[in-house]
Amino acid sequence: MKNVVLLGPPGAGKGTVAARLVQEFKFLHVSTGDMLREEVAQNTPLGQLAKGYMARGELVPDEVILSMVRQRVDAKKGVLFDGFPRTIAQAEGLERFTTVDLVIFLEVEQEEVVRRLSSRVVCSACGAVYNLITQPPRVQGKCDQCGGTLVQREDDKPEVVARRFAVYMRDSAPLVAYYEGRGMLRRVRADRSPDEVFQAIAEVLRS
Ligand code: AMP
């Protein structure tokens, strides 16, 4: 199985589509955002280090991320990288311990992602993601899957969203040209329903 990177701005739908791709294609899911949130929740030394960066919408330092990912990657399984790499240095670091076969770039306008992030809520127990406008839970405030309480992520508050965008444009957007130059990038329009985005990516993966 191939190693695939999901690239795109915050709110492009990486986490949502990753959950379905993992089910369908049996990837090992490596979401650095989820891993960091778990470390913060457990108050580990890594969590304590990451917390401030995350609250400000800044990136956690490359070396920290690379060592965390390196420990998680399993050479025997295809990996779906979600929210990683986020800098050229991370992309270069990743190539030192595993290969990348394909990069899916989720393309969406900034206006649309701001709208999505401001209406996003997540389950505080299992991490499932909802959108109050386009994908509301069946029961208000409760997770469809586990019944957990739905909350807004601290970093989805408007001030932090603006910072995350600026950081994305400065540090992560150059990855598009980086991977395009290597002939590894496939663009997928992400201004569509989660199901359409999933189908489009599934088609790329099957081809
Ligand atoms: P995400 O859930 O992917 O939006 O990540 C939430 C936050 O975790 C980001 O705003 C960063 O502070 C941090 N983070 C996640 N992935 C990375 C990464 N690959 N490099 C640096 N920081 C990251």
d(CA 139, CA 147): 9
Residue 187 φ/ψ, nearest 5 degrees: -90, 135
Q: What are the tens digits of pLDDT across the range 10-44? A: 999 999 999 999 999 999 999 999 999 999 999 99
Q: Is 91 in the pocket of ligand 1 (CB under 6 A)?
A: no
Residue environment code for 7-24, b if the CB has 16+ CB neighbours within 10 A, otherwise e: bbbbbbbbbbbbbbbeee
Residue 72: Cβ-neighbour burial (10 angstroms; 0-12, 13-18, 19+): middle
Arithmetic mean of pLDDT over the chain: 94
The pLDDT assigned to 172 comes to: 98
The pLDDT assigned to 1 comes to: 60
Q: What are the tens digits of pLDDT across the range 136-182? A: 999 999 999 999 999 999 899 988 998 999 999 999 999 999 999 99
In-domain check, residue 149: no
Which structural domain range is residue 46 located in? 4-108+171-206
Q: Considering only CA atoms, which residue is closest to atom 15 of ligand 1?
A: 33
d(CA 188, CA 197): 7
**Ligand 1 pocket test: which of 29, 51, 86 has the largest number of ligand atoms within 8 Å of its C-beta?**
86
State the CATH number of the domain containing residue 47: 3.40.50.300
In-domain check, residue 132: no
In-domain check, residue 151: no
The pLDDT assigned to 134 comes to: 86
- For helices 174-181 and 88-95, angle between their N-to-C axes, nearest 10 degrees: 40
In-domain check, residue 158: no
In-domain check, residue 91: yes
Q: Considering only CA atoms, which residue is closest to atom 8 of ligand 1?
A: 33
In-domain check, residue 161: no
List the alpha helices (DSSP H) in the chain: 14-25, 32-41, 45-56, 62-72, 88-95, 110-118, 158-167, 174-181, 194-206
In-domain check, residue 114: no
Query: Ligand 1 center to residue 59 CA distance, Å?
Result: 6
Q: Considering only CA atoms, which residue is closest to atom 10 of ligand 1?
A: 57
In-domain check, residue 128: no
Q: Is 178 in the pocket of ligand 1 (CB under 6 A)?
A: no
Query: Per the structure, how many domains does the chain have?
Result: 1
Query: Ligand 1 center to residue 207 CA distance, Å?
Result: 30
Q: What is the pTM of this model?
A: 0.91
